[in-house]
Amino acid sequence: MRFPLYSAGPVGEDLFHWQGTIMGPPDSPYSGGIFFLKIHFPSDYPFKPPKVKFQTKWSPALTISRILHSICSLLTDPIPDCLLVPEIARIYKDERSRYEETARVWTKKYAMARDTENLSKDLMARNRIIKELLDLQKDPPTSCSAGPVAEDLFHWQGTIMGPSDSPYSGGIFILEIYFPPNYPFKPPKVNFQTKVYHPNINSNGGICSCVDILRDHDPKLGCTLEPEIARIYKDERSRYEDTARAWTQSAFRIRLSFLLFILEALFWFPQIEEHSGKRTYSQRLQKNCFMAHSRIQRELDNLQRNPLALCSVGLVKEDLFQWQGTIMGPPDSPYFGGIFIINIHFPPDYPFKPPSVNFQTKVYHPNISSSESSGTICSCLDILTNKWSPAYTISEVLLKICTFLVDPILDCPLEPEIARIYMDERSRYEEIARTWTQIYAIDGLSE
């Protein structure tokens, strides 16, 4: 099986700080080595390059995949015109065998295990873990997530969403996962970091030999770690479920930004009891927020795996409900060459209500407000108003806006004068649109 030469992903929850690994290319003095990279993305990426320990010509069209591929190529094909260490360059040019010998020594010393047997096992484990990580990123489970902690590929942290219709519903349970150096021939060690009231999980988070205990939420009473909890489960089921719910509630863990969002929402909408045993308003709001959180995260992950050709998006200050995106001006339009910044805000009851989208970059268009502080999109873009459906995604919204740029809707313009010029003086319209694009979407980006 052939494994990728490189991999990369966020460190913890910080999307702007990545850790990458590059496997030394075969048929090179770096073969067998595992090289780590630290990658830091600036807040105005992709207009500025990420910080990595190399120099290359940057363009917003480049991606981190192409950067990693370039570094792999750089290992086997140095660039003689751009030297950081002239003496090594001289040895490479004049004493190639000495260069390769020294490179092999350094690779063995700094990027390889101490002995061949451990190296073989380590590489096998790393390759397998990298493959499983890529598979998880490509097809993530609906109620679980997992990934490496900082730079340690053998130490992961995971989360499990409490299954619905169980006393764990609504909880977010954190796991620690440790892979042995001879994985997959030996199993990983898994324990709960979040306290769980369960017969098969002890107070330190240790799990007995049973599997899928939370997913099935049917304890295996033949191999209990907590006999008293097992007795309560068997003889006093309602008490067991009440206690499990109480523990789940006390162990609620969510991102700080999301917690602040909910607290703000609860402040404005106090808990007013409804009749007939229904949920309070705040409980329903909290349930909707978690549904929105899960859906938005899934859409963000999908966009990162399958980016759109003319669009990119990212979080604003790690707030999952507030995004900033860019749209590249479509070819064969007066907006070509421009990079238009948009703001996207998701409501707490998304996807049952549409996101709100506005342009931060000024655009000369009949259906987009030309106000300096607005950038409002006309309501005639019905995917954002009365024709919205929970089946739509933000990817479809972005594609619709790209089409909207080159094909205005003239029945309900926000800017009637621009609509008139579009209909009666098309060449003048396109000239003004190009001028605005140059001023605000090209030159304005460097200001």
Residue with token string 């260490």: 85
Name the CA radius of gyration of the chain, rounded: 27
Sequence-separated (6 or more) residues with CB below 8 Å from residue 128: 183, 184
Contact status, residue 50 vs residue 8, Cβ threshold 8 Å = no
Sequence-separated (6 or more) residues with CB below 8 Å from residue 399: 308, 311
3-class secondary structure per residue, the chain: CCCCCEEEEEECCEEEEEEEEEECCCCCCCCCCEEEEEEECCCCCCCCCCECCCCCCCCCCCCHHHHHHHHHHHHHCCCCCCCCCHHHHHHHHHCHHHHHHHHHHHHHHHHCCCCHHHHHHHHHHHHHHHHHHHHHHHCCCCCEEEEEECCEEEEEEEEEECCCCCCCCCCEEEEEEECCCCCCCCCCEEEECCCCCECCECCCCEECCCCCHHHHCCCCCCCCCCHHHHHHHHHCHHHHHHHHHHHHHHCCCCCHHHHHHHHHHHHHCCCCCCCCCCCCHHHHHHHHHHHHHHHHHHHHHHHHHCCCCCEEEEEECCEEEEEEEEEECCCCCCCCCCEEEEEEECCCCCCCCCCEEEECCCCCCCCECCCCCCCEECCCCHHHCCCCCCCCCHHHHHHHHHHHHHCCCCCCCCCHHHHHHHHHCHHHHHHHHHHHHHHHHHHHHHC
Based on the number of CB atoms within 10 Å of its own CB, is 331 exposed (0-12), middle (13-18) or buried (19 or more)?
exposed
- Residue closest to 272 by CA, chosen among 262, 264, 284, 263: 284
Q: Give catalytic status of residue 378 as yes or no.
A: yes
Among the listed residues 72, 311, 378, 402, the single catalytic one is 378
Q: Are strands 14-23 and 6-11 parallel, antiparallel or unpaired?
A: antiparallel
List the catalytic residues.
378
